[in-house]
Each structure stands twice: as C-alpha cells, then as structure tokens.
Amino acid sequence: MLKRYLKRDLPEVNRLQIKLKEFFYHLAMDKKPVFWLFPFKIFLGLLSLFYFILLKFITFFCGKKEKFVTKIISVGNITWGGTGKTPLVINIAKYFKQKHSVAIVTRGYGREKRTGMPADEVILLSQRLSNIPVIVTDKRKKGIERAIREYGAEIVILDDGFQQWEIKKDLEIVVIDGLNPFGNGWLLPRGILREPVASLKRADLFVINKVDLLKDGTSLYKLRERLKKINPKAPIFEAIYSPRCLRNLIDRRKESLDILKEKDVCIFSGIASPDSFKSTVEKLGCKLRLVFEFLDHYPYRETDLIKLCAMCLREKISILVTTEKDAVRLVNFVEQISKQFPSLSIFSLEVELKLLSAAEFYERLSLISNG
C-alpha cells in the first residue's frame, strides 16, 4: 500500500514549507476551485499583469542582440519547473565534443550565494561532462566571453537561455513538459509561465519531454498542433526519460535496475516534477511503499534522512531511491547515515534524455557547426 508522509511525519519546518508549496501550486494550477481562494487569485493575477508589463518593458529596451564569434546554442523553457533542460544540455554537449571545443554557461540558480555550494544542475553537469568546462555566472555575456577567452570554445551551450533576450543565438531550443506544458496559462506568479506562450515563436525547435507518461495520444496531438500554430517553422521532437542504472550513494558503485523488481521501495525527491520521477521508478517493476516529496532544490539536513530511514525500517523497507539532483545534496552526511542504518541501501536513479527521433535532431544540430 502506497503511503505519502508529507505533513504528519516530517519536521515542523518541512510541514510548513510543503503546505505553502501546495497552496501556491494549487493557485498556479487551479487545482482547487474553491471560493475562498478567489481573493488570492485576484491578487496574484494583478502581480502577473505587472510581471507582463515588466517583461514588455525589458524586452523593448534590450536593444540590439549581441553577436559572438562562437556558435551559441540555447536550451531553455517557458515555464517554471523541471522540463528536462539539464539532460538535454548533456546530450548536446557530448555530441559536439566529438569534433569541437565546447563550453556550458549556466546561471546555477543562486545556490552558491545562499549556501556556498554549487547548484544541483552545476554539479550534475560537471559529473557527467568532466572534460567540458561549466561556467557559472549571472552575467551570461561575460560567461560566453570567458568561454571563448579561457577555453577557446567553438560552441557555447547556454543553459536556461530562452529568457536571455539580449544575446544572439544560432539555435534556440525550447524544452516543454508534455505532462504540464503551460500550466493554467497565466504568467508568474498566478501561473507557471515565465513568458507568454506567444513567445514560442522565437524558438528554432521544440523538444516535448515525458511523452511516454501521457495517458493517451490526444493531449500530445493537441500540444503539437498548438505549437505548429504558434511557430509553424520550428520542428518538433519528442523525448522520454530513460533510466540508465542505479548508483549506490555510499560506495558510488553502479547497480542494475533489475534489483528493484518486485521489491518494496521508498522514493524521495526535492525536484519540480516529482510525479514524473515517481512514474519512472514505478515502471521499473518495484512496489512503491513510501513517497516523500520535498520542495524543489530542498537543502536536506541529516535529520531529514534519519527520519526517512527510520520510517523505512518501521515499514520493513530496505531500499531508498532518489534522483541524481537530490543525491548531490546528500553527500555530506549519507555515509554517516549508512552507519546508523546498515541494513538500508540508498540509491540515486541515473537517467538520460532519449530523443525518439535522435538522427533527425542531431542532423539539425550539425547544421549549426557546419554553417
């Protein structure tokens, strides 16, 4: 039997954060059409209107886009939350690294300033792409200049670059979450849109992710038709998360996915799209007994993991699985936790973004390096 311990069993600070997360999520997604939420929706709607005016003001005064001597490939999205940008950046970087010098420029989401530690995405990029420089900066132009000056980058991949209006890009890739493309259609903070949907006309190509998790083909068809209507010239590709292996967080050894089959499992994550992670793990043939969902980029503490492990022991569960991004936030205390709970195994699920029409996608990329 699946159990979700989100409020009753977690520390008080976590319960409050999760309640706030759920509250704003329901507002942004219109999940609870109850009357008492109406004043909040009006207030957030006014903020969204102000945000829209601010966007128009910023984009109007951006001026001429700056052109660089190197090729710039942007991978971004139009919504707040996880769509699959990071694994796509990894795929693209590996492809170009075969023949070109490549660098990645990313913002890092400010975690360095808050905690002194690199952001989850930065660590993941560095781990997967050990021979490719990852430059973290709030000033993307300076990051590109550094990539050219210090690393001789012939191709710069701009992570989360769709909203970098002042930079001239050679290829603008927009990743879209197939399960939740545009939320309720409102801009932040009333919805999850970072720009109006009409802004997608700037894209050079689309990648719709998580298409395997859609319940039927109707929603995918409607999404494709909507994108074609907005931007008929941009080709549309589809992608899925493909599990690669399990990584033991204690000794870093790889394990086969088969070890989860028919086993009782606890999963926990602090990501923007926990439902897709849950669905991916379920497809591996295990029995999900406990599911913990924290805030996106949640800064885990040792007490959090102790509480999770204690619950697993109580429920006679010996395997815990989390995401790669979450795993990088556990490294400081996971070894100590393993000594307290030697009967438990903690894994991260390593996945890659699998493009369903990979040959056509990379053929489109090759036009950039050859142009």
160 alpha-carbon distance from chain centroid: 10
The answer to whether 284 and 261 have CB atoms below 8 angstroms apart is yes
Percentage of the chain modeled with pLDDT above 70: 89
Span 32-54, mean pLDDT? 86
Which residue reads 């001597």 in tokens? 69
Place of tokens 């909040």: 40
Cis bond leading into 189, ω under 30°? yes
Domain ranges across the chain:
3-16+243-351, 71-241+355-370
Q: Is the dihedral of CA 176, 180, 184, 190 positive or negative?
A: negative
- CB-based contacts of 176, cutoff 8 Å, min separation 6: 77, 78, 79, 83, 206, 207, 208, 209, 223, 227
| Cβ–Cβ under 8 Å, residues 281 and 321 | yes
Question: Cα 146 to chain center, whole Å?
Answer: 25
CB neighbours of 65 closer than 8 A, spacing ≥ 6?
A: 165, 166, 167, 168
Query: Is the per-residue pLDDT at 210 higher than 60?
Result: yes
Q: For residue 263, give the 3-state DSSP assignment.
A: coil
Query: Do 88 and 175 contact (CB within 8 A), yes or no?
Result: yes
pLDDT at res. 111: 47
Amino acid (one-letter) located at 182: F
Cα(39)–Cα(22) distance, integer angstroms: 17
- H helical segments located in the chain: 12-29, 38-60, 85-97, 111-115, 120-128, 140-151, 217-230, 274-282, 302-314, 324-327, 334-340, 358-370
Assigned CATH for 3-16+243-351: 3.40.50
Instruction: Give the 3-state secondary structure of residue 251.
Output: coil
The answer to whether the 3-16+243-351 and 71-241+355-370 domains have the same CATH topology is yes
Classified as helix, coil or strand, 107 is coil
Q: What is the pLDDT of residue 18?
A: 64
Share of the chain above pLDDT 90, in %: 71
Please report the pLDDT score of residue 19 as a whole number: 67
Q: Where are the alpha helices (DSSP H) in 231-350?
A: 274-282, 302-314, 324-327, 334-340
- Give the pLDDT score at 97: 96
What is the b/e burial string over 300-316, where b = at least 16 CB atoms within 10 angstroms of the residue's CB? beeebbebbbebbeeee
- Give me the torsion for CA of 39, 43, 45, 49, rounded to 10°: 160
pLDDT of residue 62: 77
Rg (CA), the chain: 21
- For residue range 166-183, what is the model confidence (pLDDT) as tens digits? 999 999 999 999 999 999
Q: Is the pLDDT confidence value at 4 over 70?
A: no
Tokens 């493309």 found at = 181
Label residue 202 left, alpha or beta by phi (over 0 means left) and psi (-120 to 50 means alpha): alpha
Q: Which CATH superfamily is domain 71-241+355-370 in?
A: P-loop containing nucleotide triphosphate hydrolases (3.40.50.300)
Q: Which of 11-20, 105-114, 209-218, 345-354 has the lowest mean pLDDT?
A: 11-20
What tens digit of pLDDT does each residue of 52-96 get?
999 999 888 877 789 999 999 999 999 988 899 999 999 999 999
Q: What share of the chain is helix, strand, coil (3-state, %, to 5)?
A: 45, 20, 35
User: Rounded CA gap, 28 and 23, in Å?
Assistant: 9
